[in-house]
Amino acid sequence: MEETKTPVTEETVQTPAPTEALCEPEKKPKKEKKIKEARRVKGISPMATMIPFIMVDRVGSQNFIADTMDVEKLEKYMKEKQQAGMTNISMMHIMIAAYVRLVAARPALNRFIRGQRVWTKRHVDVSLTIKKEMTLESPDTVVKISLLPDATIEDVYNALNEKIVGYRDNPGGNFDETAKVLSYIPALLLKGVIALLRAMDYFGLIPKFLTDLSPFHCSYFITSMGSLGIPPIHHHLYDFGTCPVFFAFGAKRRVYEPDAEGNIKRKSYVDYTFVLDERICDGYYYASAMRHLKSIFKNPWQLDNPPAEVIPDID
């Protein structure tokens, strides 16, 4: 017998049932998690946790250190950079770049105390005072630059020059304008406003646009006494803001001293000082950081490239 074949029609073709995957609504892409600028450091020792409650303010927690650097290699490096096109490079640029490189290797230097707790920053925020002209009557202001720990000398040079040239071409700026507005407030009321800001600062509630303006909310302050022709001072810290370190360096001084063969040679040195908040890390860590900084001064050419490794702070 012949097999009966059923003709293929639209009615006989069965459409497969939709799968669950096809029925599911399209998932929205997850939003990228915003990286916070500062975070609590919780992995410190119990003693380090308790110290900010005993030593409650920054000024009362200051330690002082002074040292000297041989600037022969730094000056050679600076001349090479000037010939390479960085015509405005100065010792200030190199000192900032060296400290930022130091933070890449010793991240605890980028900590600060807020609300009696230890915090760490992602960026290295550098504050410095500048004048439009080197005269007694010329106004001064504070500028701030923000850098990542892997910044090179070129990054520092561009960021700092942009700030300084911008201010000297157009004195004032957001910080000066904000300070000017506050200065119009009657003294007693202004005292209350500052007290409120201090309370907000303790809890980390000051809006970001204000902390971006504030020179006191930084990783460290740096000042050059070299342009004034005097030795470096030991500058106090501030109890408002986040600044745990004040770095000052003085004018170049020349001395005559014997070398290894007994020949008298002229050497150039620059003295520098640090005022440090001892609550952010211990003395051994600070000592290690100071030794590492001197190694950067001896080989500033390493600042031309990003560091081989940026060590993150502990959790």
% of the chain at pLDDT higher than 90: 73
Quick check: 11 pLDDT over 60?
A: no
Quick check: 7 pLDDT over 70?
A: no
CA dihedral for 54, 109, 245, 180, sign (positive or negative): negative
pLDDT in tens, 16-69: 555 444 455 555 556 556 678 999 999 999 999 999 999 999 999 999 999 999
Average pLDDT over residues 209-234: 92
Task: Supply 105's token pair.
Answer: 């290797």
Average pLDDT over residues 121-125: 97
User: For the chain, which domains are there?
Assistant: 35-252+272-302 (3.30.559.10)
Would you state the pLDDT for residue 135?
65
Give the Cα-Cα-Cα angle 45, 49, 52 (nearest 5 degrees).
140
Range scoring the smallest mean pLDDT among 65-79, 87-101, 170-184, 216-230: 170-184
Would you state the pLDDT for residue 142?
87
Would you state the pLDDT for residue 61?
97
Report the distance separating Cα 114 and Cα 118, nearest Å.
7
Would you state the pLDDT for residue 147?
97
Report the distance separating Cα 110 and Cα 219, nearest Å.
6
- Going by pLDDT thresholds of 50, 70 and 90, the confidence category of residue 3 is very low
Quick check: 6 pLDDT over 50?
A: no
pLDDT in tens, 28-37: 556 556 678 9
Question: pTM, whole model, 2 decimals?
Answer: 0.85
Strand pairing of 38-40 and 62-70?
unpaired
Mean of all residue pLDDT scores within the chain: 88
pLDDT in tens, 246-298: 999 999 999 999 888 888 999 999 999 999 999 999 999 999 999 999 999 99
pLDDT in tens, 228-258: 889 999 999 999 999 999 999 999 999 999 8
Average pLDDT over residues 133-144: 73
CB < 8 Å & 24+ apart, contacts of 33-41: 35/122, 36/122, 37/121, 37/122, 37/123, 38/112, 38/114, 38/119, 38/120, 38/121, 38/122, 38/204, 39/119, 39/120, 40/117, 40/118, 40/119, 41/111, 41/118, 41/119, 41/120, 41/313, 41/314, 41/315
Average pLDDT over residues 150-173: 84
% of the chain at pLDDT higher than 70: 84
CA dihedral for 190, 277, 51, 214, sign (positive or negative): positive
